[in-house]
Amino acid sequence: QNLSERSLAAVADFIKSGRARRIVVMTGAGISTAAGIPDFRSPETGLYANLAALNLPEPEAVFDLAFFQQNPRPFYALARELYPGARYRPTVSHAFLALLARKNLLHVLFTQNIDCLERAAGVPPDRIIEAHGSFATQRCIDCREPFADDAKMRESVERGEVPRCERVVGRDEDETDGIGGKEQDEERRCGGLVKPDIVFFGEALPKAFFERSGAVQEADLVLVMGTSLQVHPFAGLPNMAEEEVPRVLFNLERVGSFGTRADDVMVLGDCDAGVRKLADALGWRDELEKAWRE
């Protein structure tokens, strides 16, 4: 047994003792790679390493508002890949989070992911803070008018087309005579670019993120899973936990300030394997596998 496995047993004992009642979880793209969705920064498989074909000035430009205004096509090419739908199934890690919620132990889940797999796994929406927004809604970047037709949005994305704002801003007099000799007017539309409400670089995070970030200070256990903790302000969340609160990292690599606190536990490797080990130590393994298969 290595050190992390002994520590994981201690974490399990802590949860079983009933003293961990408010578990706060922070997740990133790494919990969805097993579902077939690439993460961003993994050296070979990550999206940023594979965006060369889209001719971007730098990979992050795909989520840059100024760049999107000039050229929305690279983002929509990516959106086609990432758009939530029946294509992707929640992973064991997602199922574990749903299990925590079912056992009334999940205080708040902060996710950076836009794939909506937490909901799909059955984590109650009121426990989830989608810190970087999601594909659930969309609006015009010029007039901010919501684009309400979700079905049309989905069609556009699937066809790789860029949807445009349909808000009527006026009428153009039509010169030609219409039916019955009456003059017909043409509606003038806003036509601005429509963008899903996911947070681009330079945009503010949703209000809910700031309103609920205090929940980290209420945590008696913090779990961080599948994130490089490179993007702020999200990356600052684990540091907001009280000093004596154990923080557990399930990730391929060490990230953020993990390892600087006495009670940090690092379970380095695949996060599904890590949560299975924790579930074993908790005696929850069968329940976890069943929840995942459902």
Our CB check for ligand OAD shows the closer of 167 and 277 to be 277
Which one among 117, 219, 249, 271 touches ligand OAD, defined by CB under 6 A?
A: 271
**32 assigned ligand-binding residue:** yes
Nearest-approach distance from CB 238 to ligand OAD, in angstroms: 12
| Structure tokens given for 21 | 């009642």
Residues 56-95 that bind ligand OAD (CB under 6 A): 63
Which one among 51, 121, 198, 222 touches ligand OAD, defined by CB under 6 A?
A: 198
The interface region with ligand OAD, picked from 25-33, 95-103, 188-196, 238-246 by CB under 6 A, is: 25-33
Which one among 14, 42, 154, 218 touches ligand OAD, defined by CB under 6 A?
A: 42
Residues 6 or more apart from 100 whose CB is under 8 A from it? 23, 25, 106
The interface region with ligand OAD, picked from 24-32, 150-158, 163-171, 180-188 by CB under 6 A, is: 24-32
**134 assigned ligand-binding residue:** no
Binding mask of the shown chain, residues 207 to 246, with x at each position contacting ligand OAD by CB under 6 A: -------------------xxx-xx---------------
| 252 lines the binding site for ligand OAD (CB under 6 A) | yes
Adjacent-strand bridge partners of 185:
173
Catalytic sites, residue numbers: 132
Our CB check for ligand OAD shows the closer of 28 and 74 to be 28
- Count of chain residues binding ligand OAD (CB under 6 A): 27
Residues 6 or more apart from 32 whose CB is under 8 A from it? 39, 88, 91, 94, 113, 115, 117, 226
| Structure tokens given for 104 | 């009334």
**Contact between residue 187 and residue 208 where contact means Cβ atoms under 8 Å apart:** no
**140 assigned ligand-binding residue:** yes
Backbone φ, ψ for residue 169 (5° rounding)? -110, -5
The interface region with ligand OAD, picked from 33-41, 50-58, 180-188, 205-213 by CB under 6 A, is: 33-41
Pairwise CA distance, residues 80 & 94, whole Å: 22
Annotated binding site for NAD(+): 29-33, 39-41, 112-115, 227-228, 251-253, 271
Residues in contact with ligand OAD by CB under 6 A are 28-30, 33-34, 39-42, 46, 63, 112, 114, 132, 198-199, 226-228, 230-231, 251-253, 255, 270-271
Annotated binding site for Zn(2+): 140, 143, 165, 190
Annotated binding site: 29-33, 39-41, 112-115, 140, 143, 165, 190, 227-228, 251-253, 271
